[in-house]
């Protein structure tokens, strides 16, 4: 039996490792294979100078971790954030491995990041940062090796700078080096909302199994970036009452429901989210504990833990963020009957449509948004069904079931590929 007290809830890598360890207790896999696939295959740390607009220069730290490439090229985003460190990137890369395996797309897991505060940087500084970071990691990325994508504080514009930088080095346009690009340079239709749309698709599957009527449900969304905003928008469009949303500044609550587009317009106009006039301000901690049927944590990792899990009242938690819930909180939810759609399943819509984008770039043949969404729904529904079947058969929570499915697939790939030489 695993002693949860030996793991620190505030450390993403320890949470990743604990989730892995819980799942393998239910699997029969050789120890050497488990050791191989638990830890990263390759880690790259870089230090590089960035000249700011006022002329001063600082050294920044950047990372790229390729956790696993047994089932295909490494795949995962790049984040710019003050808290980025190597252990966080290791955890995020591992989660990408399992995410790709759960939805059964031919990628492994990777992740990258730069320790910086993009909120204080100009567009020109962010461009110089991006180009220099990509130059530093260029030896290990590429369409057949490792394909980055947007993550926290990066977006399609950042991906466009990456395409240009990498293409200059290669001597020809190589738009398949990243996904999440603007459509004008090879991005896929439907990519911007893909993570959020995938969350909604698995919510629909979960609601069907739970007998939950989404037309009368109330939803709370933590995080109002790309994933959180579009999740709130899509939920609102399908008739779910979005009663609260939040960002780094705090949240706003209206029991009668919010219009996410109106809230977004308020923030885009320079207003802070808690100051939105048609609602009551509240903290992120208070938001998580609101009375609701659906909770979508779509901010950073580590938001739901031993300190607050018992106070959460939602019937279903759909994890738009990576690693928002600790295994300790998972146990509390399981005992309370709160149904959790785990991150490696719930937010896999983004990497799934990234896979579609990569395929379209390689084939030079592009799909309509309708085709993208139809294929996405098929893959998300199939993955949910496979995880739910394990959940029922093995009497484990959905996260452990998802890890069992993913680890089993990666372990099988290693077993079949064997040991060289």
Within 8 A by CB and 6+ apart from 3, the residues are: none
Residue 288 is encoded by which pair of tokens?
A: 């998580």
Report the greatest alpha carbon distance in the chain: 66
Active site residue 36: no
Residue 48 parent element (H or E) = strand 42-51
Rg of the Cα trace of the chain? 21
Residue 115 parent element (H or E) = strand 108-115
> Active-site residue among 38, 111, 193, 241?
111
Residue 56 is encoded by which pair of tokens?
A: 């001063």
Residue 418 is encoded by which pair of tokens?
A: 């064997």
For the beta carbon of residue 368, count every other beta carbon within 10 angstroms.
10
The answer to whether the CB of 292 falls within 8 A of the CB of 222 is no
Residue 139 is encoded by which pair of tokens?
A: 């030896």
Sign of the torsion formed by the C-alpha atoms of 166, 167, 170 and 176:
positive
List, by residue number, the catalytic residues: 111
């Amino acid at each position: 039996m695993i002693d949860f007290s030996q793991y620190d809830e505030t450390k993403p890598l320890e949470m990743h490792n604990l989730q892995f360890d819980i799942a393998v207790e239910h699997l029969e896999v050789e120890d050497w294979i488990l050791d191989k696939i638990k830890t990263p295959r390759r880690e790259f740390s870089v230090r590089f100078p960035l000249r700011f607009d006022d002329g001063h220069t600082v050294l920044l730290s950047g990372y790229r971790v390729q956790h696993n490439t047994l089932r295909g090229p490494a795949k995962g985003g790049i984040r710019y954030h003050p808290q980025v460190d190597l252990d966080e990137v290791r955890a995020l890369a591992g989660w990408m491995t399992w995410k790709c395996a759960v939805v059964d797309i031919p990628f492994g897991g990777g992740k990258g990041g730069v320790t910086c505060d993009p909120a204080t940087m100009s567009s020109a500084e962010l461009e110089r940062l991006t180009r220099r970071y990509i130059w530093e990691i260029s030896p290990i990325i590429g369409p057949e090796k490792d394909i980055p994508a947007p993550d926290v504080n990066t977006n399609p514009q950042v991906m466009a700078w990456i395409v240009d930088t990498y293409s200059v080095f290669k001597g020809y346009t190589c738009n398949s080096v990243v996904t999440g690009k603007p459509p004008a340079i090879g991005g896929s239709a439907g990519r911007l909302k893909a993570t959020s749309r995938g969350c909604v698709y698995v919510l629909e599957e979960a609601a069907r199994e739970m007998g939950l009527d989404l037309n009368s449900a109330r939803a709370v969304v933590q995080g109002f970036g790309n994933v959180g905003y579009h999740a709130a928008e899509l939920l609102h469009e399908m008739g779910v009452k979005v009663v609260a949303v939040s960002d780094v500044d705090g949240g706003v609550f209206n029991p009668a429901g919010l219009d996410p587009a109106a809230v977004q317009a308020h923030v885009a106009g320079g207003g802070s989210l808690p100051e939105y006039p048609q609602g009551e301000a509240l903290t992120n901690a208070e938001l998580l504990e609101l009375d609701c049927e659906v909770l979508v944590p779509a901010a950073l990792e580590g938001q739901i833990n031993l300190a607050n899990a018992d106070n959460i009242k939602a019937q279903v938690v759909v994890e738009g963020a990576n690693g928002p819930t600790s295994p300790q909180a998972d146990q509390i939810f399981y005992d309370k009957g709160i149904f959790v759609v785990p991150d490696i399943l719930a937010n896999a819509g983004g990497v799934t449509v990234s896979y579609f984008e990569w395929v379209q770039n390689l084939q030079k043949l592009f799909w309509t948004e309708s085709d993208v969404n139809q294929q996405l729904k098929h893959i998300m529904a199939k993955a949910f069904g496979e995880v739910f079947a394990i959940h029922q058969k093995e009497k484990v929570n959905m996260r452990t079931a998802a890890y069992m499915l993913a680890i089993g697939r990666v372990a099988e790939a290693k077993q079949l590929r064997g040991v060289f030489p």
